[in-house]
Amino acid sequence: MKITASGGGGFAGLQQHFEVDTDASPLGPALEAALASSGFFASENVENEAIGADLGRWNITADDGRQRHSLSFIETGAPPWQDLLDLIRSAA
């Protein structure tokens, strides 16, 4: 499975991009399990009430060859998307 996370923001406006191939990463099984347990492929964009110039905005895309799904959210530190993003950062 190919997983990408792009986004950033904050006061400095830094942009980041991470790519992970779960077949090649030691954290691949954990990433696939996190996607499954979070309901990632059935979820929609997260529109939350978080406001602030220091909050990052992220897009995560996962493609397992049968399905491709993307999710956008504001990085507030709330699970499950923050946990998934942290795992992607660790695996990249």
CATH of the domain at 43: 3.30.350
Containing structural domain, residue 61: 2-91
What are the pLDDT digits (tens) for 8-17? 877 777 899 9
Whole-model pTM: value is 0.86
Residue 66 DSSP label: S
| Number of domains forming the structure of the chain | 1
The segment with the largest mean pLDDT, out of 9-18, 22-31, 69-78, is: 22-31
82, 58 contact by CB (below 8 A): no
- Say whether pLDDT at 32 is over 90: yes
Look at the block and give the residue holding tokens 């923050």: 82
> Which residues lie below 8 Å from residue 39, measured CB to CB, with a gap of 6+?
none
Residue 61 DSSP label: E
